[in-house]
Structure 1
Amino acid sequence: MDGMARISAFLRGAVVSSAIGALTAGSVAVQAATFGAGIENSQWYLSESVFECTLVHQVPGYGRAVFRHKAGESLSFFLESETPLMRPGQAQLVMEAPSWRPGTAPRPLGRVNVDDSRRPLMLESRLAMVLVQSLLEGMDPTVTRESWYDGSPVRVKVSNINFAGQFSGYRSCTAGLLPVNYDQIKRSRISFASGSTSLSDADRRFLDNIVMYIQADSTVERVFVDGHTDSSGSRIDNRALSEERANAVADYLIGQGIEADLVTTRAHADQYPVSRRPADNRRTTIRLQREGERPDLQQANGYETATPNT
């Protein structure tokens, strides 16, 4: 079955509303294919770990609606569908009252972007929290956009039924999230003042986050710690200085509980500059490697996440 046939089948299987209100002031009511769970099949599923908390809602005939909070990041919301039913462009986001609350006026929230990916709608933290509050108030967030199929409206409705109970567990989950996620720390950098090998309090707090993550993620199998300098000294002096900088970071990680055989230290002097600014090159980099990841051929070079306030 080709893409157009799949879309047609989806639309034929959708619940078709008899009429919906005007999408914007002054427009006429039109029929729309509406995808959404009813009272009998509306469920929310909570997935929780120290790495991520998610609330997943199955939207029959369409796909999923997901609230996600990754460690070290803010809450987000997205719709997910294997088949792109909506035409890319601006969709209308409205908080609608369910059918058993007649007389409650809908609350338009404006337009949101829709694309043709598997996650056609992605909302950042502020709007995601607005959706949460609306669901807790018994409203149904609804996204309406023209279809790929024939230009008629496609509506995806997120049901509030059974949301509140699972959201309580979700809040407990977010309280236990790690302070950082893997993508934020897999390549990190500690900066140093000229000639210095000392760690600041901010450096130690940042390294504490790395330690906490490694201790929670059993798939981290290697920690590469590489010391670097600028080019202001002799090669011999810079080699020794870069080694001291690498050891300062490695010793702190090990002292905080990282197994020593996990850590590999290397000293590169001024061999791998990342900038023309000397301050950018006075650094120690930390790179994590998980099981199954292909080792980086340029392990000592490249760009890293910097310690906050450096």
Structure 2
Amino acid sequence: MFKTKATPYIFALATTLAAGPAVSATYGAGIENSQWYLAESVFGCSLTHEVPGYGQAVFNHRAGESLTFYLESDVPLMQPGRGRVVVEAPAWRPGVAPRNVGEVMVADGVRPVSLGARESMVLVQGLLAGMAPTVTRAAWYGNDPVRVQVSNVNFASPYAAYLQCVGGLLPVNYDQIKRSRIPFGVASADLSDADRKLLDNIAVYVLADSTVERIFVDGHSDRYGSRITNRALSEERAEVVAQYLMAQGIAEDMITVRAHGDRFPASSRAADNRRATIRLQRQGERPSMQQANGYGVSTSNG
């Protein structure tokens, strides 16, 4: 990311305004300085392109999610509002008709433009076809357009490596499984196929992320039945989950099992309360102090 000091930017802006109406400005790398950089891990893959004078264009694919694209800049060159995205021919390919991708909302902040999976793939296909994705929006300092162009030069080879990276991503990311819920039937502690798939994904993630230091498994029941029976059933549910995780390779000393009976209902619906919750804790994260209802856990129960 480019770091631009406020004082030079304000000076340049004042100079532009003093000189009269702003003219259209296009930011983009030329043939001589177009570079793409791949960052890869099992947690995510990203392709970053430096846009001289503007900032960065990034294709990002996080584990468990779809491809996204965003522009990043420390300096607000475009006004917030509706912009336009097209895939057009670069200057050295005149006469090729542009392809309209659609409107995009330009936001305030360091990441003003973000696109979802469909639009991101349209940009990728354009780059592979030798075209240049371009975002246009009125300038922050006036109504003349600012154009940010993404160069296709040197894109194909890093993109091939990026595809290999995507093939090795984990099935989920931390945010998707850091708090999870396993529902149970009436008086049951049986896991369904969907439950096992969720627990498989949790185990795969934890085994890959060395920063996860603890897993809290909390068992719960509805309020039908005696307090003793409900406590025993909630313990059985938590143990079933913990034993399954250990069978997938999670160390026993990483797992804290707690049984709460019917003390912490998630809602007024009995079906919502027949559950076990799983919470992951990374190094440096403070244990939650909330009660063991919904997806939270209580740190005051043994």
Which position in structure 2 is the counterpart of 1:251? 243
1:219 aligns with 2:211: yes
Contact kept, 8 Å, 2:81 with 2:106, in 1: the verdict is yes
1:275 aligns with 2:275: no
Which position in structure 2 is the counterpart of 1:113? 105
TM-score (norm 1): 0.89
Equivalent residues in 2 for 1:1-310, closer than 5 Å: 6=9, 9=12, 31-298=23-290, 300-303=292-295
Which amino acid in structure 1 is aligned with residue 272 of structure 2? D
TM-score (norm 2): 0.91
Distance 1:140 1:90, change over 3 A: same
Distance 1:173 1:59 in 2: 24
Contact kept, 8 Å, 1:7 with 1:149, in 2: the verdict is no
Distance 2:32 2:190 in 1: 62
Unaligned runs of 5+ in 2: 17-21, 297-302
Which amino acid in structure 1 is aligned with residue 137 of structure 2? R
Which position in structure 2 is the counterpart of 1:18? none
Distance 1:11 1:201, change over 3 A: farther
Distance 1:129 1:10 in 2: 35
1:145 to partner: Cα distance: 0.5
Distance 1:11 1:218, change over 3 A: farther
Distance 1:36 1:170, change over 3 A: same
Kindly provide the CA deviation profile for residues 117-162 of structure 1, in whole angstroms up to 9, marking residues without a partner as x. Answer: 2111110000000000000000000111011112221110000001
Which amino acid in structure 1 is aligned with residue 69 of structure 2? F
Contact kept, 8 Å, 2:27 with 2:51, in 1: the verdict is yes
Kindly provide the CA deviation profile for residues 55-110 of structure 1, in whole angstroms up to 9, marking residues without a partner as x. Answer: 00011111110001111100010001112111111001111111111111222222
Distance 1:83 1:4 in 2: 12
1:256 to partner: Cα distance: 1.1
Identity of aligned residues (%): 64
Distance 1:216 1:74 in 2: 20
Kindly provide the CA deviation profile for residues 195-248 of structure 1, in whole angstroms up to 9, marking residues without a partner as x. Answer: 000111221111011000000000000000000011111111111100000000
Which sits farther off after the overlay, 215-224 or 111-120?
111-120
Distance 2:250 2:11 in 1: 55
Contact kept, 8 Å, 1:8 with 1:149, in 2: the verdict is no
Which amino acid in structure 1 is aligned with residue 112 of structure 2? P
Count of matched residue pairs: 288
Unaligned runs of 5+ in 1: 14-29, 305-310
RMSD across aligned positions (CA): 1.9
1:299 to partner: Cα distance: 6.0
Contact kept, 8 Å, 2:277 with 2:295, in 1: the verdict is no
